[in-house]
Amino acid sequence: MKKQHDSIRPIVWQDDHLELLDQRVLPHSYKILEYTDVHEVADAIRDMIVRGAPAIGITAAYGIVLAARQRYAENSGAWKETIQADLDYLAASRPTAVNLFWAIDRMKRCISTINGEPVSPLLAEAIAIHEEDIAANYRMGELGAELIEPGSSVLTHCNAGALATGGYGTALGVIRSAYAQGKIKEVHADETRPWLQGSRLTAWELIQDGIPVTLNADGAAAWLMKQGKIDWVIVGSDRIAANGDVANKIGTYNLAVAAKHHGVKFMVVAPTSTIDMSVASGDEIPIETRESSELLDLNGNQIAAEGATAWNPVFDVTPVEIIEAIVTEKGTINKPDQFKMRKLMEDKL
């Protein structure tokens, strides 16, 4: 059963195919794309038709269902061998989002148990991943909202909402839950350059669900804090290292430093599938760099001076010591560190 302010589902398995809401054309167009081929699904992840670490993992799981159907039809006796190239192609689509590899590994474990027709058990596993993500988001929404005092103003960066997950969202799940409880008086969203996920996606989905939002330029966030207009910064994550360092959309580190300086609390909201205990610290997290044209051009028109080059990292890493809380579906870690992270993950097992 859906909660309040919870109307958006960007990923849908429909009969025999996958449907994705094309996030590149929001908010001006609402376009659903259909997929029956795993390589097209991987390309959709790479091209940011779908984005956000949990959503990428869910989409990859459904992509593996499509791959299994095709490989089994081609050669039912060797499909487990031939599907490996499809799994590798999926894994190469977005290197920073650990949920991608988590979902692929989980589907691999399911593959290893299958004797006979693979589509039904793999589809059941993908649906379970999807439903578990939404349930986790509901739980994180409740836990994160417990930290917020009535009358608070919050700031979020990029999009960590329904569009970045199976539904409801991580950071926006907390905001949705706290708003439904009457705790939030104002939501600010960074525009989030260069893809403008805050302007195009976060603002769109909050408005769709009846939550007022005020947009600001990324560079205005510190000034908002200076004026005492922000109580919490609430963000998602694409990968969390074993020590609690957090990789998230570029600009998150700026916010965390500004928040620390101004005494503003900083919350990261992510499922435990985003925690990568094989990575000791944020220094080991691979940071994706995208095409320079995303900075030099706008809608296909060059906006930069001729001859200028661009550096376009998609993510940055926020060190654990300036994070107030990490909220997961398994519990909240206040003042996180490597020992608290390890205990959370051991308890999860």
pLDDT tens digits, one per residue of 73-96: 999 999 999 999 999 999 999 887
pTM: 0.93
pLDDT at 348: 63
Among the residues of 113-188, which ranges form H helices? 119-145, 171-180
The distance from CA 265 to its chain's CA centroid, rounded to whole angstroms, is 21
Q: Is 347 a catalytic residue?
A: no
Residue 3: is its pLDDT beyond 70?
yes
Task: Kindly tell me the number of DSSP H helices and DSSP E strands found in the chain.
Answer: 13, 16
Question: Which CATH class for the 147-348 domain?
Answer: alpha beta
CB 202 within 8 A of CB 158: yes
Mean pLDDT of 127-136: 97
pLDDT at 95: 83
Mean pLDDT of 336-349: 90
pLDDT averaged over every residue in the chain:
96
CA distance 96 to 38: 20
Give residue 71's identity as a one-letter amino acid code: R
Q: In what order do the strands lie in the sheet with 11-14?
A: 11-14, 17-21, 32-35
Domain spans, the chain: 11-136, 147-348
Question: What tens digit of pLDDT does each residue of 263-316 get?
Answer: 999 999 999 999 999 999 999 999 999 999 999 998 889 999 999 999 999 999
Tokens of 189: 């969203």
The answer to whether 11-136 and 147-348 have equal CATH topology is no
Choosing from 86, 209, 238, 245, the catalytic residue is 238
Mean pLDDT of 218-239: 97
- Look up the CATH number of domain 11-136: 1.20.120.420
Res. 349 pLDDT band, cuts 50 70 90:
low
pLDDT at 313: 96
